[in-house]
Amino acid sequence: MTNLKYYILLFFLLLEACQTLPEGNTSRSKAHLRQVMPHSTTLRPRATVDTINQHKMVDSLYRQLQTAYEANSTKQLEAFLQSWAIYSAKQHNHYPASDTVAPALTQLFMDMFSPFDFSPFGWKQRKEKTDFTGVKYLVIQGQLPYAIDFAKNMPWDTLRHFSPPIKYKGVITLYFHEIYQKVFDKFLADEVSYKKRDFLGKLLNMPLSLVTDITAQPKIDQIQLNTRLNGAVVDYYLEGSFMRSWLMKQGNHWVIVHNEQTGIE
């Protein structure tokens, strides 16, 4: 009976998801995903950093990182990351009690996120080791684009300042919130020789194909939930591949019922 439920859900999710894809398109790049997602309003935590203070923080953090690079100082880079860790430890998701979407998205991310074992995504050969095996710092994406329902022209939104309670023994979690994303965008803006990436790579895992993105993978590009919040289709990036997974909720957790590769970089 359980298998029957899987296939029934999979059939409807496949049907609805296919209706939302542009005709004649079988794979989608990150750029395309951004083009088809007209984000509307934004869910935000109660505590956010105002614009003026954010600019000051970005400039200050950028100077710290740039100074560490110019001095080729691993010690200064470590100090920068430790400061980021202190910031991250203070971040929590705070949403209205009436909000059912943000908790559903957070739980889905928690259940799907598997940086040290890619076998849940159909990569059985990457069960014991991935590019993130043995890292000291794990950078978690700070926003989640999403939509409710699979109808055509459904509105898209973004869960920002995303701070899922990800914890692994011996690993320090860093949230890639908007402030830090702007810092690294600025720091890597003129990167042509990969010298800055090599410098960051002394302490951070740097995906080879993504110039300014230092987040752990799978890196979720977008999530579509059904209206009952118990079925989802997730598009994400995994080591040079664009992937899609169908999930269903069982009890309090999400289970992947189907994976497919939609394109390669």
The CA distances from residue 111 to 54, 99, 124, 184, 256, in Å, are 31, 20, 18, 28, 9
Any idea which residue has 């100077």 for tokens? Answer: 63
Q: Is pLDDT above 80 for 33?
A: no
Can you tell me the mean pLDDT for 165-181? 94
Question: Considering the entire predicted model, what is its pTM?
Answer: 0.80
pLDDT, position 211 = 52
Quick one: average pLDDT of 120-147? 84
> Could you read off the pLDDT of 92-129 as tens digits, one per residue?
878 887 899 999 999 999 999 999 888 889 876 665 67
What percent of the chain is modeled with pLDDT above 90? Answer: 55
Chain centroid to CA 2: how far?
A: 30
Enter the tokens of residue 238.
Answer: 């995994």
Q: What is the pLDDT of residue 212?
A: 59
- Looking at residue 49, its pLDDT comes to 53
- Between CA 152 and CA 131 the distance in angstroms is 37
Q: What Å distances lie between residue 122 and 82, 134, 197, 199, CA to CA?
A: 35, 22, 29, 33
Distances (CA, A) of 143 to 15, 129, 221, 252: 27, 26, 9, 22
Q: Which residue has tokens 């923080």?
A: 57
Mean pLDDT, the chain, whole residue set: 82
User: Which two three-digit tokens encode residue 101?
Assistant: 């979407």
Nearest to 58, CA basis, from 177, 194, 209, 220? 177
Burial 188-207 (b: 16+ CB within 10 A, else e): beeeeeeebbebbeeebbbb
261 forms beta bridges with 243
Q: Bigger pLDDT: 38 or 8? A: 8
Q: What angle do CA 123, 129, 134 make, to 5 degrees?
A: 145
The 3-state secondary structure of 95-110, one letter per residue: CCCCCCHHHHHHHHHH
pLDDT bracket for residue 37 (50, 70, 90): very low
More confident residue, 42 or 131: 131
pLDDT higher than threshold 90 for residue 132: no
pLDDT at 113: 94
Banded pLDDT at 153 (limits 50, 70, 90): confident
Per-residue pLDDT, 43: 47
pLDDT at 210: 55
- The residue among 29, 27, 19 whose CA lies nearest residue 261 is 27
Quick: pLDDT tens for 47-95: 455 778 888 999 999 999 999 999 999 999 999 999 999 999 999 878 8
Q: Of all residues in the chain, what percent are helix, strand and coil, respectively (each to 5)?
A: 35, 25, 40
